[in-house]
Amino acid sequence: MSLRCLCKNISGAHIKINNFWTNKYSTIKTAGVLVIGDEILKGEVPDTNSTLIAQELHNFGLKLKKITVVADDINDISEEVRYFSKKYDYVLTTGGIGPTHDDVTYEAVALAFDVPLVLHSDLEKICSKFFKTVDPMSPGMKQAYVPEQSVLNYATISGDKLTFPNVSVHNVFMFPGIPEFLKKIITEAGPLLFRSDKKFFTKYLYCNLPEYKIAKELEILVQEFPEVQFGCYPKICHSAYQVKVTIESCSNVSTTKAYLRLLQLLPKEYIVNESDI
């Protein structure tokens, strides 16, 4: 088995050793995320949505493979949607579904699948009530025009219905860019939209040693536990620890065994209790 190792001694960098996703666990469903908006690319608005989505997809048992930020350009978005849809099991877009001129996600997805944009009767009623208009050409009604093959996803894990449904076409699910709305939809409806028969089991170990001093021990673990993924993340100027190690697999037994083995390999005096952090 080949060894993949990336090691940089700078803040925020990490050692990533072993890619178990491409071997025994290749059946894990994958996802790609498209963050849409000129404001992200200009640095005017921080992108917190992709972090939330990544966390939720991981909790659902999905492997997020790629995050791409795209400008408010119909052709650019449609090109990425088309590529992502073929590449990954699930595609999530965030942003670009509001009432203004630069909200073009629905149009772009329609272009990606070569289908027309149509006025959906259910969304027309919702938008008409919310924006207090019956004019199909009003700005508020723009959100009622969706790709012809769209599915409206109302269901939530609580049994209640979303006020405004998530709109999906094939394996592409379109979410709002407003973080509060995104959080509500993905936490309440996400478990029903993004299904996986896998689950990740993760343990953490904190060590008061620089990462280069535990690289050999991690290489040993990679050879002994090829089904486990290990991550090594340095923390600069922290009073309690220098490195956080993650141990993860789709087997609780494998994760636990690898964690206990790491405890054996590292000097006990440099292992930091989580309660001390």
What integer is the mean pLDDT of 185-198? 96
Residue 26 confidence (pLDDT) = 58
Q: Which domain holds residue 233?
A: 5-22+199-276
pTM of structure: 0.86
Enumerate helices (H) and strands (E) in the chain, giving the number of each.
Answer: 8, 14
For the record, the structure tokens of 13 come out as 């960098």
pLDDT band at 7 (very low <50, low <70, confident <90, very high): very low
- Residues 216 and 180 reside in one and the same domain: no
Tell me the pLDDT tens digit for each residue of 109-131: 999 999 999 999 999 999 999 88
Residue 131 confidence (pLDDT) = 87
- Residues 209 and 160 reside in one and the same domain: no
- Residues 12 and 71 reside in one and the same domain: no
Query: How distant, in Å, are the alpha carbons of 19, 180, 217, 218, 228 from that of 265?
Result: 22, 44, 6, 9, 16
pLDDT score of 150 more than 90: yes
pLDDT score of 258 more than 80: yes
pLDDT score of 272 more than 60: yes
Question: Residue 223: is it exposed, middle or buried by C-beta count within 10 angstroms (0-12/13-18/19+)?
Answer: exposed
Residue 40 confidence (pLDDT) = 97
- Residues 175 and 217 reside in one and the same domain: no
- Residues 106 and 188 reside in one and the same domain: yes
- The number of folded domains in the chain is 2
Pairing of strands 15-17, 229-234: antiparallel
Please report, for the domain that includes residue 217, its CATH number: 3.30.70.2860
Question: Among 178, 193, 208, where does a domain finish?
Answer: 193
pLDDT band at 37 (very low <50, low <70, confident <90, very high): very high
Please report, for the domain that includes residue 59, its CATH number: 3.40.980.10
Kindly report the length of the chain.
277
